[in-house]
Amino acid sequence: MSLIWLNLCRSPIRTALTVFGTAIALALFCLLEALLGAFNAGAEMASASRLVVQHKESLTFLLPQAYASRIGQVEGIKGVAQVTWFGGLYETPLPEGGKREEFFANFAVDMEQYLKLIPEVIISPVQYESLLKDRTGCLIGDKLAERLGKGVGDRISLRPLLWPKKDGHPWDFTVRAIYTSNSEVFDRTLMVFHHKYLEEGRVFGKGETGSYLVGLKSASQFAEVSDAIDRLFSNSPNATRTMSEKAFNMQFISMMGNLKLLFRFIGTVVIFTMLLISANTMMMSGRERTREMAILKAIGFSDRHVFTLLVGESIAISLLGFLVGAFGMYTLINLAHWNPKPDFLSIFQVPDAAMISALGIAILTGLVSGFLPGLAAMRLQAAEALRSI
């Protein structure tokens, strides 16, 4: 009904503000969902058929490299790779002085075994060969390559935060391979390099590794295998704790857990308030038109008609808000790849589910805020309303 549209145009500023309010609330909602999604990305990219073995005390303690062969003999294991968190900071001098700093996840790994365990990583055979041949070579994700503006053959230099080099210089690498992934959720901003390169250059920690990545022959054997591994070393000074890759990745997330909760709380309050304000405005504009509703009834519109009119109006407003807010945010993040904090959020997307929820919230807001005035208009005694001009 075009009457709905005309009513929206009656006070364009109010309509625009209400639409804007709803839009902001829904945009915030999408942003929030994208952020929370980014926090959870590590957990999502984990595979059920991989385990991580770390020191029983804490992630910050190291394990002897000798464990590798003993773990490898446990029944049900497909492969073992050392993985040590390197945590280097990328630095390049800028032409105009100063320097550009970037942070991304970087690890030292047993390259050949590691890549066997992570089939999500896809590299061309040629690049794979040259990666294995070059001791200082490294592998980076295509999204990281794009961010840094690096291609195969370019050099990358990392300032060590944990692992100083013997000569006191930054660690230099050559990009030998760039990976993509066949999985939507796999992080394409990682950097990995040869564990032997770390081993040669580092000042301390020789013969040790941060953790072991273990591949299972079958995901169902998770419990037996992790028990078996932990039993192997239970009496040694360096006892282990074996967990699923997901649980391992979650350790990082849980550090941010409280932050996440706070985030969600603040976000929800803000969104709720804005929707409440929009709903209130819609209700007011419904109430102001009692007389018009009475006139409509007098000329033959039924109770259902006037109800539909008012509910339709507020649904139209909140759907407009959805289009502007949620789709705006979707375009910005998913299509234009806007990323407010690229250093930390490697996977930053408004999930489709969030869009559906946003649509649901919009329709619900429209329904709820149109319902009361609609109901009032429906119950309205035209005779009464027309008397009291």
Ligand X SMILES: Nc1ncnc2c1ncn2[C@@H]1O[C@H](COP(=O)(O)OP(=O)(O)OP(=O)(O)O)[C@@H](O)[C@H]1O
Binding footprint of another protein on the chain (CB under 8 A): 1, 3, 6-7, 9-10, 291-292, 295-305, 381-383, 386-387, 389
Least distance from ligand X to the Cβ atom of residue 388, Å? 9
Q: Among ligand X, another protein, none, what does residue 301 contact (CB within 5–8 Å per kind)?
A: another protein
3-class state of residue 93 by DSSP: strand
> Number of H helices and number of E strands within the chain?
14, 14
- Which of 275-284 are b and which e, b meaning 16 or more Cβ less than 10 Å from the residue's Cβ? beebbebbbe
Spatial contact of 291 and 385, defined as CB atoms under 8 Å apart: yes
Q: Which amino acid is at 217?
A: K
Residues 329-368: x/- map of binding to ligand X (CB under 6 A)?
A: ----------------------------------------
Token readout for 189 is 């901003």
By beta-carbon proximity to ligand X, the closer residue of 181 and 290 is: 290
| Residue 243 dihedral angles phi and psi, to the nearest 5° | -145, 170
By beta-carbon proximity to another protein, the closer residue of 207 and 300 is: 300
Taking CB under 6 A as the criterion, the residue among 133, 335, 387, 388 binding ligand X is: 387
For residues 284 and 14, what is the distance between their CA atoms, to the nearest angstrom? 11
Q: Where are the beta strands (DSSP E) in the chain?
A: 50-55, 63-64, 77-85, 89-93, 99-102, 106-109, 121-122, 137-141, 155-159, 171-181, 191-194, 208-209, 211-216, 240-244
By beta-carbon proximity to another protein, the closer residue of 36 and 295 is: 295
By beta-carbon proximity to another protein, the closer residue of 7 and 365 is: 7
By beta-carbon proximity to ligand X, the closer residue of 133 and 387 is: 387
Least distance from ligand X to the Cβ atom of residue 379, Å? 14
Least distance from another protein to the Cβ atom of residue 8, Å? 9
Number of amino acids touching ligand X (CB under 6 A)? 2
Q: Among another protein, ligand X, none, what does residue 304 contact (CB within 5–8 Å per kind)?
A: another protein
For residues 194 and 144, what is the distance between their CA atoms, to the nearest angstrom? 18
Our finding on whether 298 is near ligand X (CB under 6 A) is no
Q: Among another protein, ligand X, none, what does residue 303 contact (CB within 5–8 Å per kind)?
A: another protein
Which residues are CB-contacts of 76 (< 8 A; sequence separation ≥ 6)?
Answer: 216, 217, 218, 221, 224, 225, 228
Least distance from ligand X to the Cβ atom of residue 380, Å? 12
Residue nearest to ligand X (CB): 384
| Residue 217 dihedral angles phi and psi, to the nearest 5° | -70, -35
Instruction: Determine whether 180 is exposed, middle or buried from the number of CB atoms within 10 Å of its CB (0-12, 13-18, 19+).
Output: middle
Taking CB under 6 A as the criterion, the residue among 57, 288, 343, 384 binding ligand X is: 384
By beta-carbon proximity to ligand X, the closer residue of 273 and 381 is: 381
HEC string of 122-162 equals ECCHHHHHHHHHCCCEEEEEHHHHHHHCCCCCCEEEEECCC
Least distance from another protein to the Cβ atom of residue 10, Å? 5
By beta-carbon proximity to another protein, the closer residue of 33 and 313 is: 313
Q: Among ligand X, another protein, none, what does residue 7 contact (CB within 5–8 Å per kind)?
A: another protein
Token readout for 221 is 């054997």
Least distance from another protein to the Cβ atom of residue 304, Å? 7
For residues 194 and 222, what is the distance between their CA atoms, to the nearest angstrom? 28
Q: Which amino acid is at 42?
A: G
By beta-carbon proximity to another protein, the closer residue of 259 and 298 is: 298
By beta-carbon proximity to ligand X, the closer residue of 341 and 387 is: 387
Least distance from ligand X to the Cβ atom of residue 378, Å? 18
Q: Binding residues for ligand X, per CB under 6 A?
A: 384, 387
